[in-house]
Structure 1
């Protein structure tokens, strides 16, 4: 039974991914963090239908990652909770410190 549920979840996630990547996003409106300059490297975000989100680097605009609404929500909540904070290397201070 659990194996069957896992297969159903996997199939649903594959369908969602396929649908997201099939979307034409050529007209998407990309946003970046306030205060960044046009020439600076930055992360850009675009809203997609159904609450989904696309993300890319300003230096590589042809490589676009796409996230369902649930995936994006989980990412944002994790980032806010410090889940993705980088640990300083042993013997090193935090970023920006010497």
Structure 2
């Protein structure tokens, strides 16, 4: 199985203390999200339409 290739947001600033998520979109049909401070922790797997809905709602806030 292909491993997720996580990327941190350009807004994260690279500081270890920042609260950020990492997102992987390299697996077809899956968007994976994890806490950048706990890379060995849980991974939330979403279908792309759910991720798009989340982003659309987040932009409105």
Corresponding residue number in structure 1 for 2:9: 33
Report which of the two structures shows the higher radius of gyration computed on alpha carbons: 1
Extract unaligned runs of 5+ from structure 1. Answer: 1-23, 83-98
Root-mean-square deviation (CA), in Å?
Answer: 1.9
- TM superposition score normalised by structure 2: 0.73
Structure with the larger helix share: 1
Following TM superposition, by how much is the alpha carbon of 1:59 offset from its aligned partner in structure 2, in angstroms? 1.6
Runs of 4+ in 1 over 4 A off after TM superposition: none
Measure the CA separation in 2 of the matches of 1:72 and 1:57.
Answer: 16
The structure 1 residue matched to 2:45, chosen from 66, 81, 91, is: 66
Question: Relative CO higher for 1 or 2, CA cutoff 8 Å, sep ≥ 6?
Answer: 2
